[in-house]
Every structure is written in structure tokens, then in C-alpha cells.
Structure 1
Amino acid sequence: MRRTCLGATRYKLSPSLSQLRQYARAPTKLPIKPPPPPKRRYKLNGDSYSFIRGPEDAMLERSLSKSISPDLQVRCTEFDAQGNVRVNSGQFKKTELCTKHGLLPRDLRKVDTGVHTIIPSILVRSNSILVNLLHIRALVKADLVLVFDVYGSTDSHTQSVFMYDLEGRLQQGSKGMGGLPYEFRALESILISVVTSLGEEMKVLKNMVEVLLAELEQDIHRDKLQSLLVYNKRLNTFLRKATLIRDHLDEFLEEDKDISAMYLTEKLDGVERPEDQHDEAELLLESYLKQTDEIVQVVETLVSDIDNTEGFINLILDAHRNNLMLFELRVTIATLAVGSGTLVAGLYGMNLKNFLEESQYGFFGVTGAAFIFTVIVLGVFRRKLRVMQKLTLNSSKASQRAMRG
């Protein structure tokens, strides 16, 4: 309520109780709800279906967009015909690489650093060799080597050693490497780096597993069993990786056409080589195939040792569990026998008259009878327990014989 006078000051009074009630009854504005997700309609066999688009669809669309439209550039290190580094970690467009080196987009995808793959591959094309082995992805030609920078391995020790070794082998020339052409020197450097990396990782895993197995022979502890599980997973992962490389080299050696097409220098000079004349390349690949196979055999032996140790530990734990169960059964039998003896004492503890109350030898007779009854019950159940143990051993031996037969 407001009172106003002409030429006077205006005064505001506090609201009355009725006005406060009106304010309280006034409707409040609720927050605006977000619009529902849009519906999309799809047709399947002539029928129309509507689906609500959720957050999972948005994540799927983002991942698909990344896979459909990958990066158009790759980072490479280029070596020239004399083995010198022409470009160090330079940016190259994929389209220019395909056009310049006569490749298809699917060929370049095999060595694309943005695509994670564990499947090794050696692809032979008309004037180049594409290699994807472990941490190395390279394009080898008769007078050029392109090494693609794999994410996470640019600054690694293995990658640095490979770069220096490749540069040294290419600079030595054909005469300094026993007459090997340019492409075979590059390929041998790649295979050496791959086999060396596998061998070093195998040695580290072998030392750790052998130390752990030796400790488990002395003491079986929970932490050691957890470490054994971790090492077993690492060994299986490494075994899968090494087996893939060995199998790929073995399969590649069966392709005479691809092996004979690896002589890129002769192709550049216009010399045609028959498909059955590739002894030099075959010996090179077979040498590193044997080394890879040896690594696989060592790792398989380690995995077998771990499996045998796990089986032996399970046998020990089963034996301890059986001993605990037998001890519990013995305690139960002893409790039953003592309870049988106390049953006699309980019967005579009732407030009922009998002829033994006034007997001079009644106490000793009842006590002796209760003791004899306890010994009889204990002996009967212990004998049954022994019979059950013999049946268990005989049944296990019979089942083992049946499995062997």
C-alpha cells in the first residue's frame, strides 16, 4: 500500500498478510526441460521402424568418422641410394606416396601408423616391398627406404638402434655386404631388429619366470601366485606375437613368385629372374625364420614349465585340503566316541532308583563300560575311514589307468 502527497516524499509500507498469501499462491516457473532426443526412422524389408538416438550413437558416429576419414599425412624418415638420411621425420601426404611409388591405398594402409595392428605382413609389389613387423613399418625400393614413424616408438632405444644399423648397412654398399643388393640389405636390417627385439624381450621374461619358479619350489605364497599369473599372461601375449611372425615368414617362403619378385635392383636394370631362382632371398629369410622359431620354442617351454608348476601347486593344495578334511573327520569321530561314553553317564545321572546305587563296584563297572563303549565306537569309525581312503586311492588309480588305456 502506498500513500502519496503532491510535493511530498513517497513512502512504501510493508506488504500485508493477504498480499504475502497471494505471492505464495502464485505459480512458480519450472526450469525448461531439454527436448527429447530426435527419432530416426529406418526401413527394413518394407517395414518402418523408429529408433531414439542416444549418447552411444554419438560416440559410435565419432569413432566411425575417425576411421572413415583418417589423417591424410604420415611422418616418415627417408634414406637415399647411398644410405644417407634425406628427410628426417618429414610429413608426406598419402596420396603423393601412392602416386610416387605406385601403391594402392589398401597397400599403404598396411603400414599406416594410425592403424593399430598386430598381424605382421610382407607385401611385394612391382617396384617396392612393404614391411610391417613389430615396431617397424617400412617401404623398401631398389634405391630408397621409407621408415614410417610409429607412435610411441620414435624415441625408443630399439627404434634408434634400428635406424643406425639401417644407415650403416646401406652406406656400406653391395661389396661390403657380400654382394647383397640394396633392398636385401634394408630387409636384413629390418629382420635383425625384429629378431633382436624378440630375443631381448624373451630373455627378460625367461629370467623373471625362472627366478619366480625357483622361489615357488621353496615357498608357496599368495603374492608369488599372483606374480605367476601376471607372467603367464605376458608370456602368452609374447608367444602369440612371436608365433605370428614365425608363421608369416614360413608362409612367405612358400610363395616362390613373391620371393623372386623381391629382386628390385634387377627389375630396375631390366633383368628378369625366373620364379625358381631365388636362393639368395630364400636363405636370408630362412636364417631369421630359424631364429624366430628358436625363440618360439623357448617361450613354449617356459609356458609349459608354468603350466606344470601350476598343476604341481594344485596337487599340493589339494593334498593340504584333504589333510584338513581328514583331520576334521578324525575330530568328529573322536567327539562322537566321547559323546557315546557320556551317554552312559547321562543315563545314570537321572534321579531314578536302580540296583547299582548300593553296589560296591557299581561306579567302576559303569565307568569301565562307558570307556569300552567309547573305544569300540572310535575303532569302528576309524576303520570305516581307512576303508574310504583306500577306496578313493584305488578309484583314482583305476581312473588313471582307464585314461591311459
Structure 2
Amino acid sequence: MALTLTSPHFRFQPFLTRTNYLFFSDLTEPQFHDSLTLLRRRPISVTSPPALKPVKCSRSTEEKQWNDAETEAVASDSDESNGQAPSKTSSIESPRIATTSSGDSLSLGIREPVYEVVEVKSDGTVSTRKINRRQLLKSSGLRPRDVRSVDPSLFLTNSMPSLLVREYAILLNLGSLRAIAMQDCVLIFDYNRKGGQAFLESLLPRLNPKSNNGGPSMPFEIEVVEAALLSRIQRLERKLMDLEPRVQALLEALPNRITGDILEQLRISKQTLVELGSRAGALRQMLLDLLEDPDEIRRICIMGRNCTINKGNHNVECSVPLDKQVAEEEEEEIEMLLENYLQRCESCHGQAERLLDSAREMEDSIAVSLSSRRLEVSRVELLLQVGTFCVAVGALVAGIFGMNLKSYLEERVFAFWFTTSGIIIGGIVVFFIMYNYLRARKIF
């Protein structure tokens, strides 16, 4: 018989703990009285019997461990709030919490891109190195959004030419040339492409002291900007010079001789001119925007100097008067430099547009010539169709007389010649009638 808390035998409640209650609940009434007799003879402190089975516990082992860990955590929090040091058991954490934290740390891992660049220093030293994004931002003083204009992995999204001036660096994006110019070095991305190789060929001779002939040299970042613009415009001019004679030869040969090969060459030349004109136009627009914003030019001049730009009057203010004078002189030189390259770019763009217009006009004239030829062919076809109709009418009469039916004309000698001459004369008359009708309707 199991005992409950309302049993009258529970007058020894001080001797019963939770563990003892679980033990006594499985005893019968005689066994229970024997156990109480033993308890009267023993001390008051009652220990848990060794025969206690953990299966009888209402909680599972995992739940008990979980609740014990929570209890210890609460106890450690209360000890810390009372100013006591936490115990060793308070450092035990749940496996579930540890698993979650480790998963979060793995999910937050970011793999930074590594760029392989060519570094050209101000003394002309060239070296190849690998640098990640964090090191690049730290060495150049740029922000992550600034690097997007020169990131080679974003070639399709940022293909428009740009020149961005920041406090410690200048970012150059001129198509296949992407570089970051600083006071003492320049980092070139995708140096194996044509734009990067042309830029190196134009920059390295400028850094040679013998090439200056003893004259004053410009700051390194301005040398980099000029070399980039020069290499880009020279490539456009070289491509235009190679394309112009070929287009002129096609324009001279096309009116007299129209073949499939010549038309295909004209199409390829026209496509190349469109691409060349769009590149020159984009570069011209970039130079115009840069010249219309004098603050950008002033930022290039004060780079590396203790100078600022006044927001009110947009003047350069320097702590050293000599720096202000040098910055003003460099501003004039940069404006003249940009104007020079703007004129060359406009000349290249204008010549490409003129050649493209000539090719389009020749294409239109070819289309008109082909249309006139198709018109002549259509007239001949129409004339043949009218003649075929007249002959078909005569064949209809001949077919009628060819039937195996008696018409009493076969008994007469002159019937054959009369019928034949009638078919011929009737076909000719019908032909001229149809011809005059089509000319009156301006169809023929």
C-alpha cells in the first residue's frame, strides 16, 4: 500500500526527505512500521538508501542535468550580485548554448579578397605583391566603397572611366587600366592587360631622373595621372590611325563593286568605330566633369600638404605660405594638362564620328543601290508573269480543241490556221492590254 502526504502515519515528517519519501512509497504497511522503528533507534539524519533506483525519478537524466545547470547559473548570478566570486560550477555552460555560439562564429567568418598588384614606387622600383582588402584600405586611407571603382572583379559593372580624388590617394579607372596612386607609390591592378602594360611603358621613363633634363619634376601622383591619360589617349589614337586607311579604301571600292566580303569588312569597321567613339566620348566626358569641378583639382594639389579648402569661397588655405603658392601653380599646370588631353580626346572622338558617318552614308547608298536592283528584278519578273499569263490563255484554247469531242471544225481545212492565228493575235492583244494597265497604275 503506497502512502501519500495525507496519511495519518506521517507524524514523522521531520525525518522524511524527498528521497526518503520516494523510498517509503514503495513499501507495504508492515515494512513501513519496521522502518519507522529503525529510524527511532538511529540518529535523525537520514541518508538516501543505496537501493534507490533512478528510474523512479519523475525527471529524466538529461532534464535533470539541464535544470541543475540552470540552477547553478542562477546561483552564480546571485553570488555575483552579492559581491561574491563565482564558483567553479558556475562556469559550466549548456552544450546547446556552446553549439549555437560556435555556429554563429562560423557564420560570421568573411573571406577577404586578395589582389595581385604591381607596385611602382616614386624612384622607379617595380615589384609584384599580393595584398588583401584590409591592408589596402589601411595603407591608402580609403574606405571600402572607394575600392569598388578599381576592383578588377567588378569589371562589367564599373567600366565607365573615372578619376576619384581622396585625401591620401587617387583612384584611376580608365577601362583596362585600374590603379591607386599615392604620394610615394602606385598600385596597378590587372597589370597583364594592354592598358596596364601601356601605362607602365609610359610611367617608367618619367620616373628616370635623366629624362627630366635637370628641369623641375611634378609630384608623383600628378605624373601618374598624366601617364595614365597619355597611355589611354595614345591607344585610342593608334587604333584610329590603323582603322582610318581601311575605312577610306572600303568607301572608295564600294560604289563600283559590291560583294559579300566588302560588305562584311564594312560592318566590322563600323562596329569598331562605334566602340572607339564611345570610349573616346566617355573619356572626354570624364575630363569635362573634372575641369568643371575645380575643387577636385585643388584636392590633387593639396595632397600631402597641410592645407584645406575653404567651404565658403573654395580657396586653398595652408599653414605655410609657400605651400599655398606651390599649390596654386600646380593647379594651373593641372588645368592646362587636362585641357591638352581634352583637346586630343575631342579630336579623336570627332574623327571617329566622321568616319562613322561616312560609313553610315555609304551603307545607306548601298541600300539604295540594292533596292534599285531589286526593283529592276521585280519589273522583269512582272513582265515575265504577264507574258506567262497570255501564253496560258492560248494554251487554254488549244486544250479546249484538243478534247476528244467533235466540233465539226476538224472537217474544214482552214479551221487550223484560223484557230492558230486567233490564239497568237489574242495573246498579243491581252499582253499589251495588261502592260498598259500596269503602267497606268504605276506598277510597272
TM-score, L = length of structure 1: 0.68
| Correspondence list, 1:91-102, <5 A | 91-102=130-141
Determine whether 1:381 maps to 2:434.
Answer: yes
Specify which of 259, 262, 272 is matched with residue 234 of structure 1.
Answer: 272
Residue identity in the other structure for 1:171: N
| Correspondence list, 1:6-405, <5 A | 69=111, 71-80=113-122, 83-85=123-125, 87-116=126-155, 117-141=158-182, 143-150=183-190, 152-153=192-193, 156=194, 159-172=196-209, 176=214, 180-264=218-302, 267=305, 270=320, 271-272=323-324, 278-349=331-402, 351-354=405-408, 357-358=411-412, 361-388=414-441, 390=442
Residue identity in the other structure for 2:175: L
Larger gyration radius, structure 1 or structure 2: 2
Contact preservation (8 Å) 1:266, 1:272: no
Structure-2 separation of matches of 1:181 and 1:195:
21
% same residue: 26
Structure-2 separation of matches of 1:338 and 1:220:
37
1:338-359, Cα deviation, whole Å (9 max, x unpaired)? 2333444445555434479546
1:251-288, Cα deviation, whole Å (9 max, x unpaired)? 11111111121114672685347999933211111111
Contact preservation (8 Å) 2:168, 2:303: no
Residue identity in the other structure for 2:259: H
Q: For the structure 1 residues 75 and 179, does the alpha-carbon distance in structure 2 shift closer, same or farther, using more than 3 Å as the test?
A: closer
Structure-2 separation of matches of 1:245 and 1:252:
11
SS of 1:278's partner is helix
Give the drift of 1:89: 1.5
Q: For the structure 1 residues 133 and 347, does the alpha-carbon distance in structure 2 shift closer, same or farther, using more than 3 Å as the test?
A: closer
Residue identity in the other structure for 1:111: V
Contact preservation (8 Å) 2:390, 2:430: yes
RMSD: 3.3
Between Structure 1 and Structure 2, how many residues are aligned? 317
Residue identity in the other structure for 1:166: L
1:115-139, Cα deviation, whole Å (9 max, x unpaired)? 3131111011123322111332223
Give the drift of 1:247: 1.1
Structure-2 separation of matches of 1:175 and 1:151:
29
* Unmatched 5+ stretches in structure 1: 1-64, 393-405
Q: For the structure 1 residues 355 and 132, does the alpha-carbon distance in structure 2 shift closer, same or farther, using more than 3 Å as the test?
A: closer
Structure-1 separation of matches of 2:416 and 2:154:
93
Structure-1 separation of matches of 2:299 and 2:252:
50
Contact preservation (8 Å) 2:280, 2:349: yes
Q: For the structure 1 residues 216 and 324, does the alpha-carbon distance in structure 2 shift closer, same or farther, using more than 3 Å as the test?
A: same
Contact preservation (8 Å) 2:150, 2:178: yes
SS of 1:219's partner is coil
Residue identity in the other structure for 1:279: E
Q: For the structure 1 residues 70 and 241, does the alpha-carbon distance in structure 2 shift closer, same or farther, using more than 3 Å as the test?
A: farther
SS of 1:307's partner is helix
TM-score, L = length of structure 2: 0.62
Contact preservation (8 Å) 2:298, 2:331: yes
Deviates more, 1:302-311 or 1:378-387: 302-311
Q: For the structure 1 residues 165 and 230, does the alpha-carbon distance in structure 2 shift closer, same or farther, using more than 3 Å as the test?
A: closer
Structure-2 separation of matches of 1:70 and 1:330:
77
1:180-200, Cα deviation, whole Å (9 max, x unpaired)? 443323221211111111111
Structure-1 separation of matches of 2:132 and 2:373:
66
Q: For the structure 1 residues 218 and 355, does the alpha-carbon distance in structure 2 shift closer, same or farther, using more than 3 Å as the test?
A: closer
Structure-2 separation of matches of 1:311 and 1:367:
52
